Chain A
Amino acid sequence: MEEKNEYAIEMLNITKRFPGIIANDNVTLQLKRGEIHALLGENGAGKSTLMSVLFGLYQAEEGTIKKDGKTVEIKSPNDANALGIGMVHQHFKLVQCFTVLDNIILGQETTQHGLLRKDLARKKILDLSEKYGLKVDPDALIEDITVGMQQRTEILKMLYRDNEILIFDEPTAVLTPAEIEELMKIMKNLANEGKSILFISHKLAEIMAVADRCTVLRRGKCIGTVNISETDPNALSRMMVGRNVQFVVDKKDAEPKDVILHVENLTVPSKLHNNNAVNNVSFDVRAGEIVCIAGIDGNGQTELVYGLSGLENCTSGKIVLNGKEIQSAPIRSRYAAGLGHIPEDRHKHGLVLDYSLMNNLVLRSYFEPEFSTKYGFLKKPQIQEYAEGLIERYDIRSGQGATTMARAMSGGNQQKAIIARELDREPSLLLAVQPTRGLDVGAIEGVHKELIAHRDKGNGILLVSLELDEVMSVSDRILVMYEGEIVGEFDPKTTTPEELGLYMAGARRKEMGKNA
């Protein structure tokens, strides 16, 4: 039985069903003490469900969970905490108006005679942060610190509770490249100190860099567990999607033609601050090219897109789409003029979550004669037929087909639905904002192919992306945005990620309009 004690946590033959879908089908995951174990899989492969079972958010119908070789029952996150299991969620669970220290001790406050003793807690936190290299300012308010520091606060929260098993749910999705590197170091430190880490991700490079072993899930089934030292990214991606995936985007050179979108001195106010989020920005997008706006999150990309799509009013400047000035046109007439928009936040803008998939697929066109009678009735059979066509063509997977509620679909399939809806209207200018956020490699490849096919049909695409890999491989022209202004224009063939990084961080800038 000595063998068994090698494992900190074992999830054996876990099966979890949801209506119409088996999320986990006889999945086994064994986490060794002191290792970093990656959990890899496409969207909807069952990673989150499996972790929710481990964290006590769901109960598995079949299978057992063992801790240190002993069978345990985890019925709620409290049980999980008592067993020393901690989780950093993809969306942080922090109180915005509390300090880092307050957030860490929340629920586990050190008290003496019923009074808070923050000094004791502070000492423990400072010790922990030194030991593991987790730099935080205990007195800073959460709303004032960077996403990276918020994440370190979450990690400290787990360590403060003496958790031995740490689950990281897609921790790098929100971080900048430098922060990712730092997180990797921290994870390795933690493992060296004897913590066992479960690392959920679909970024192969990160898994290769940091993990010891990797378990791959595909459509709810466990495909296998491999040692990272004995595998390579190609093998992993084959396991994940069941086929070979191309990492290099295959595309011809762009043949830019007429200007489709002309933006001149555009200024958009910021919702959060009193200054202008987009300040005096000018650029063109031509037919048949993909122009990419690169930059670190929060440098005005969101507001630029809001201004272009009409979600926000511009204070000054000109937007010309297909020869038509649209800067003060209502949203619907901008779409009529040939604009398509894959929004940044698919839950907030992209979908009506409590509508069925088919109703969401006509969110842009429900009022058109194709789907409604002249007396204002919806043509349900036509909508359903149209939706089923899109579902088939774009391979949108869901429990009950066209009638599935959008809320019940996985993130990747929700995104596919939005992309299908926007591309099917053949917009001459597509605003694609982080179109691959939260998608796995198989789906990313699909999205990139769709974008390039759309370009090759002679349409313009304005791509906003935070992923440098995507920026470098998909775009034909790169504009770097920093603090609401465009600080440089680059050709992806002649520039490097390092050079872009300098401009993105504001260390350098070009005089716009003087370079080709």
Chain B
Amino acid sequence: MRKFLSRPAVQSIIAALLCILLGLLVGYVALLIINPAGATEAIVTILKNYFTYPTAAAARKYLGNTLVKAAPLLMCALSIQFCYQVGLFNIGAAGQYVAGAGAALFCALSLNLHWSICLLAAIAAGGIFGAIVGFLKAYLNVNEVISGIMLNWIGLYSVNMLLTGVKEVASPYTVNLANTNPGAILPSLGLDRLFSNNKYVTVAIPLSIIFAILIKIVLSKTVFGYEIRATGIARDAAKYSGMKEKRNVIVSLFIGGALAGTGAAFLYLTGYEQWSVTQSSVPGMGFNGIAATFLGGLDPIGTIFSSYFIQHITSGGSYLDKNIYPSQISDFISAIIIYLCGFVLFFKLFLTSVMKKKNTKTEGEGGDR
């Protein structure tokens, strides 16, 4: 049992669960303060999410909705994680996501292209946004956080301008994808039938999981992963060994950007959401990806589950009684959990030291006998 508990993977999971528990607790307290009467019901609603629906078929349908949004979140989380391995904090994932969304929707709505071309455009756009940050970092040593955040805004307003040509006449939203260009919608391969004919369920969901597994393999098993991790943790040693450390930085950020761009295509090419060309804040997907990455213990496989969980409570929050609680409450709770995710590492250290103490204690007792 003790041996099981001292395994790093197990500790990561326990630490993540502790964070979630604590986050829910703080969220519950916040609900109590706003309105004590409905707090218990509210927190249960958030956790239940689609189970709120009475029939299994309806629950399945809305599980589908949660998954549709979890897939892009997972892609953004993978983007941040990949760059983190090279020692870079890719806060620009949000902007790369925006670039991907803009490219995908422009190709789909303005140019009437096939979904595969739209997807490739999103990958390229996200990748280029990432590579710009990487280039600035590698050759001019510009901090990737600063250049990433600046690029987020450049991306947002460029995309707003780009998509103004395809917006609905009466609203700021882009025109309906399914009506305008059904060929641009990602194929569902029959997956929609598993979720009570939820037409938004597409290959995006399994693909995002495959991407997670691929990233895991690339990082731990390949020459490329060996190089970029070495570049991340010991840049001088990487240079000494003859690796092209500048190239590695740019390539990693390109891949990170491409992942975030793919995430955007995975959402907008389902038709689930339309882009509002008047929005003045960068979509939160890229930022939530940071949380998912850390909650997932910086492991691609763990991130699959953490991404789902974060989306689960975010979706659950939309079922709250808006007369009692402000609509931001679910964002608030997920923000708390996200905030606590930073403590995953702290909890891990704490667990390790507790386990160590226990070990030495029993050894000492053994000596006494």
Residues of A within 8 A of B (CB): 61, 309, 311, 330-332, 335, 341, 343, 348-355, 359, 363-364, 366-367, 372, 376-378, 380
Contacts and interface: CB of A to CB of B under 8 A. Distances in A.
A348 B236 contact: yes
B284 interface: no
A332 B238 CA distance: 11
Interface string B211-237: 000000000011110100110011011
B240 interface: yes
A350 B221 CA distance: 22
Given A353-B233, A377-B221, 15 more contacts: A331-B240, A331-B242, A343-B240, A348-B236, A350-B237, A351-B237, A352-B230, A352-B234, A355-B230, A355-B234, A372-B223, A377-B222, A377-B223, A378-B222, A378-B226
B298 to A, nearest CB: 13
Interface in B222-280: 222-224, 226, 229-230, 233-234, 236-244
Give 8 closest A-B pairs by Cβ, nearest first: A332-B242, A349-B240, A331-B242, A352-B234, A363-B241, A348-B236, A372-B223, A354-B233
16 contacts: A331-B241, A332-B242, A332-B243, A348-B234, A350-B240, A351-B237, A352-B230, A353-B233, A355-B230, A363-B241, A364-B241, A366-B223, A366-B226, A377-B222, A378-B226, A380-B221
A123 B278 CA distance: 71
Interface in B15-37: none
Contacts of A355: 229-230, 233-234
B351 to A, nearest CB: 16
B364 interface: yes
Contacts of B237: 348-352, 363
B85 to A, nearest CB: 12
Nearest to B356: A19
A351 B238 CA distance: 9
A261 B21 CA distance: 65
| Interface-central residue, B222, B239, B242, by most chain A CB under 10 Å | B242
B179 interface: no
Interface of B: 221-224, 226, 229-230, 233-234, 236-244, 360, 364
Contacts of B226: 359, 366, 378
A353 B240 CA distance: 14
A154 to B, nearest CB: 27
B332 to A, nearest CB: 37
**Secondary structure class of chain B's binding surface, majority of residues:** helix
Nearest to A343: B240
| Interface-central residue, B224, B238, B240, B364, by most chain A CB under 10 Å | B240
B238 A352 contact: yes
Given A376-B222, A377-B223, A311 B242 contact: no
Nearest to B241: A363
Nearest to A375: B222
A372 B242 CA distance: 16
A378 B240 contact: no
Contacts of B223: 366-367, 372, 376-378
Contacts of A372: 223
A433 to B, nearest CB: 12
Contacts of B239: 311, 331, 349
B242 A354 contact: no
A502 B146 CA distance: 53
B234 A354 contact: yes
A174 to B, nearest CB: 21
A309 B234 CA distance: 18
| Interface-central residue, B223, B224, B233, B364, by most chain A CB under 10 Å | B223
Nearest to A353: B234
Given A363-B241, A364-B241, A61 B360 contact: yes
A380 B238 CA distance: 20
B230 A311 contact: no
Contacts of B242: 330-332, 335, 364
A349 B245 CA distance: 13
Contacts of A309: 240
A350 B240 CA distance: 7
A427 B238 CA distance: 19
A14 to B, nearest CB: 15
Nearest to A309: B240
A195 B168 CA distance: 87
Nearest to B240: A349
B222 A351 contact: no
A331 B236 CA distance: 12
A421 to B, nearest CB: 10
A378 B233 contact: no
Contacts of B360: 61
A353 B234 CA distance: 8
A380 B223 CA distance: 11
Nearest to A345: B236
B31 to A, nearest CB: 42
| Interface-central residue, B233, B236, B239, B244, by most chain A CB under 10 Å | B236
Contacts of A335: 242
B364 A352 contact: no
A355 to B, nearest CB: 7
Contacts of B230: 352, 355, 363
B293 to A, nearest CB: 19
B30 to A, nearest CB: 39
Nearest to B218: A376
